[in-house]
Amino acid sequence: MNRDVSRPHVVILGGGFGGLWATGALAHAPVRVTLIDRANHHVFQPLLYQVAGATLSGPDIAAPLRHIVRHQVNVTVWMEDVTAIDIGAQRVSAGAQTIAYDYLIVATGSTHAYFGHDAWAEHAPGLKTMDDALTIRRRILSAFEAAEREPDADKRAEWLTFVIAGAGPTGVELAGTLAEIAHHTLPHEFRIAHPRRAHIHLVEAGPRVLSAMPEKLSAIAQHKLQRMGVEVHTRAAVTGIDAGGVNMGDRRIPARTVLWAAGVAASPLGAQLGGERDRAGRVKVAPDLSLPDHPEIFVIGDLAWVEQDGQRVPGMAPAAKQMGTHAARVIRDRIVGRSTRAFRYRDFGSLASISRSSAVVDLHGLEFSGFAGWLFWLFAHIFFLIGFRNRLAVMWNWAWSYLTWQRGARIIVGGRKHKD
Amino acid sequence: MNRDVSRPHVVILGGGFGGLWATGALAHAPVRVTLIDRANHHVFQPLLYQVAGATLSGPDIAAPLRHIVRHQVNVTVWMEDVTAIDIGAQRVSAGAQTIAYDYLIVATGSTHAYFGHDAWAEHAPGLKTMDDALTIRRRILSAFEAAEREPDADKRAEWLTFVIAGAGPTGVELAGTLAEIAHHTLPHEFRIAHPRRAHIHLVEAGPRVLSAMPEKLSAIAQHKLQRMGVEVHTRAAVTGIDAGGVNMGDRRIPARTVLWAAGVAASPLGAQLGGERDRAGRVKVAPDLSLPDHPEIFVIGDLAWVEQDGQRVPGMAPAAKQMGTHAARVIRDRIVGRSTRAFRYRDFGSLASISRSSAVVDLHGLEFSGFAGWLFWLFAHIFFLIGFRNRLAVMWNWAWSYLTWQRGARIIVGGRKHKD
């Protein structure tokens, strides 16, 4: 029954928050669902920086997609790269095969963008996928190892200098994590390099950190970062990145480790859908999240360009989940001939963690920070994490890190060693 | 004081059981110690197969070397590849630098050997390092994913066929793990492929599995594996491995996933020490574990060829630890002019796990198996695991897996996808 080919076939591209919530909302609909992702797992992106920072291991914040939807008998999961969408013939190319759809939900999210400087990518990895997180972890830990065996003091200082480009939530979280690693986790374990002497630069082109938050919270976050030893540079645009450092106009910071949290571009699949797109490649959708000329195609999550009350709906997990649920509801309504409703984003606010006991929280009307903000941040993340096992594993690792200042996943795997 | 250059410099190559135990035994000796490993972490090798089998995550069974020895002020840890040993000039080449030593302990272990068929390596990964474990995990999980999207039934069957070459402890443990994954963890999550139809072949050239154990325990292990659905082939030598399967003389098993647990070769650094070596490249040592012509050089662990009472000391963790402790003691004795003793291996026995509730244990005089054996196995491994955090993490993951049949680390990371 579950594979009944007389039922409409809904193909969902991407197993992030948008795709997964759309899948779940089709559980009892009279459709067949195929969920396709290039990874075999869903990642809880808000905690990805903690995998990069070696506090959590990858499996703590990920779960196999087919395990999550195992009880949903109308769903087939495919791990495959989708390379093309043929909107005329209504089919997608996945690996060597083509799959016909009646409805298509495109939820392939976004990737890093280097403002046209693709050569920067090699020197400044971004943080979007589990593999990205493991790459950043490897670079950070390897830099301290390289410093320890570097006989030249100037070169050693370059290995102990870290630059994070972009001071949105990800940049702020990475900077705070790096400061904790250098100043609390690693001292006493090195004999030649001194992790406490590490320099951590957070570089932001705009006038303040966390620019999407109220100014008061931005100021609190910046002050807290500076007290932790992070050097915050605002109104400072990155103009060059190479293997030896970062240029900001006339100024150069010699650094062997650069992390990119500055720009995102929509998934390249968006370009195959025709229609209007914004500068970052996001696809303009109709009020019900379908394509204006193709009511059978929906675009949701970070890939969608949705405006509401004159404002852009942000690329955040809650927005992606709400869009996923909405697209599924529109499909259910269409099938039974009900009229469909326009999407309305419910904005509950946003939050960002700065350190092990400090976060900023903006609930639109209620703003708080410091330890209370951190407790709120902590419970919110545990609550939204998928899976009982993951929740317990994350709580246990956090408790251990909190008590010992240690990190449970300080191992370097994969890739060649990061060396000169 | 800790870096007092007037003290003899002991350089230890390799942070496995041998090198780490040697380091620890030099804690209060009047020496400087440099411990060099190409990884930043020690791996608890006896549980590596559980990382490959997705029960445990990598960090659960690993700890940063410099964290383990952080309180030992006379030790410097270097993460670096050692490429050459100059025994005349008494120095080693590590990366771009050379390091002079007064005493050298070589504990670089062993790697896989394909009996001269290097082309097999690509198709049949072995299990020695954390990266190996993640590679095997990726291949196993990806094979089931490939089967799910394969439209052709014959090709699908090839994706669902697994061959393990070699039925020592590692081969037996991998076969048991694969049987549990296929028959218990994955069913109900696939719609087209049926993991329960997977074929798992364990191929052994010798007459029985676990040949180092008493015959009775071998028979019990083989019977248990067969009851779990593993097809055990004894007296069956692998004569060819390619991308599509395995040849055993005239017989061929079409299979897309082959794992290698059949042969080991000593670390190539052994060849730079001169002197006598066995067929696998192990270095013959004097009774005190030093080189016959170079009393300042010690070879320990899997790299050492040590005979005792006419028998080869086996390449196992307890033997490596005992050798590490002994080499350190000889160095301490030499420094104060005391006469040195010959190494004596104390053989406490061996054990191998077969499934989630079955293991075989040989304590020389006391043999047992089944659930009692498994409980013994379980407590022995928890006891010997390094670090409080790792012990709790492993216990928690085991308890969860035992209750749910699930595995906590079923995520595919790194590498390109394993596909046709």
Do β-strands A283-284 and A304-305 pair in parallel, antiparallel, or remain unpaired? parallel
Residue A392 to residue B392, Cβ atoms within 8 A: no
Q: Among candidates A161, A78, A71, which has minimal Cα distance to B417?
A: A78
State the average pLDDT over residues B110-133.
94
Rounded CA-CA distance A406/A166 in Å is 27
- Residue numbers of B between 262 and 321 with CB closer than 8 Å to A: none
Rounded CA-CA distance A113/A97 in Å is 29
Low pLDDT (below 70) residues in chain A: 1-3, 415-420
Q: Does A4 touch chain B (CB under 8 A)?
A: no
Residue-level pLDDT at A341: 93
Q: Which residue in the set B94, B134, B148 is minimally distant from A413, CB to CB?
A: B134
Q: Does B245 touch chain A (CB under 8 A)?
A: no
A265-294: b or e for each residue (b if 16 or more CB lie within 10 Å)?
bbbebbeebbbebeebbbbbbbebbbbeeb
- Residue numbers of A between 22 and 61 with CB closer than 8 Å to B: 38-41, 57-60
Q: What residues have CB less than 8 Å from A417, skipping those under 6 apart?
A: A142, B38, B79, B81
**Out of B82-91, B149-158, B301-310, B391-400, least confident range:** B391-400
Cα A82 to Cα A91, B148, B221, distances in angstroms: 11, 16, 44
Residue A389 to residue B412, Cβ atoms within 8 A: no
Q: Does B386 touch chain A (CB under 8 A)?
A: no
Q: Does B395 touch chain A (CB under 8 A)?
A: no
Q: Is B173 among the catalytic positions?
A: yes
Work out the mean pLDDT of chain B and round it to a whole number.
Answer: 94
Rounded CA-CA distance A83/A79 in Å is 13
What's the sign of the alpha-carbon dihedral A366, A372, A376, A378?
A: positive
Residue-level pLDDT at B419: 33
Q: What is the pLDDT of residues B37-83, one digit of tens each?
A: 999 999 999 999 999 999 999 999 999 999 999 999 999 999 999 99
Q: What is the pLDDT of residues A103-156, one digit of tens each?
A: 999 999 999 999 899 999 999 999 999 999 999 999 999 999 999 999 999 999
Give yes or no for a contact between B23 and B68, defined as CB atoms under 8 angstroms apart. no
Give yes or no for a contact between A182 and A200, defined as CB atoms under 8 angstroms apart. yes
Rounded CA-CA distance B222/B121 in Å is 27
Residue A189 to residue B62, Cβ atoms within 8 A: no
Q: What is the pLDDT of residues B223-235, one digit of tens each?
A: 999 999 999 999 9
Residue B64 to residue A142, Cβ atoms within 8 A: no
Instruction: Say whether pLDDT at B344 is over 70.
Output: yes
Torsion angle of the four alpha carbons A264, A265, A269, A274, in this order, in degrees rounded to the nearest 10:
140
* Widest Cα–Cα separation across chain B: 74
Residue-level pLDDT at A391: 87
Complex prediction ipTM: 0.92
Q: Which residue in the set A142, A151, A410 is minimally distant from B64, CB to CB?
A: A410
CA distance B243 to chain A (A): 18
Residue-level pLDDT at B5: 79
Q: What is the pLDDT of residues B182-214, one digit of tens each?
A: 999 999 999 999 999 999 999 999 999 999 999
Q: What is the pLDDT of residues B148-189, one digit of tens each?
A: 999 999 999 999 999 999 999 999 999 999 999 999 999 999
Catalytically annotated residue among B173, B180, B276, B296: B173
Instruction: Say whether pLDDT at B400 is over 50.
Output: yes
Residue-level pLDDT at B4: 75
Q: What residues have CB less than 8 Å from B108, skipping those under 6 apart?
A: B13, B14, B82, B267, B269, B270, B303
Q: What residues have CB less than 8 Å from B179, skipping those under 6 apart?
A: B200, B225, B228, B229, B230, B355
Q: What residues have CB less than 8 Å from B349, skipping those under 6 apart?
A: B361, B362, B363, B364, B366
Q: Does B78 touch chain A (CB under 8 A)?
A: yes
Both tokens assigned to A320: 């992606």
Predicted TM-score (pTM) of the model is: 0.94
CA distance A58 to chain B (A): 8
Task: Read off the DSSP letter of residue B219.
Answer: H
Instruction: Say whether pLDDT at B418 is over 50.
Output: no
Residue-level pLDDT at B358: 94
Nearest residue of chain B to residue A62 (CA atoms): B411
Rounded CA-CA distance B86/B89 in Å is 6
Q: A interface mutation test: which of B55, B66, B76 has the most A CBs within 10 A?
A: B66
Residue-level pLDDT at B107: 98
Residue-level pLDDT at B199: 98
Do β-strands B294-299 and B290-291 pair in parallel, antiparallel, or remain unpaired? antiparallel
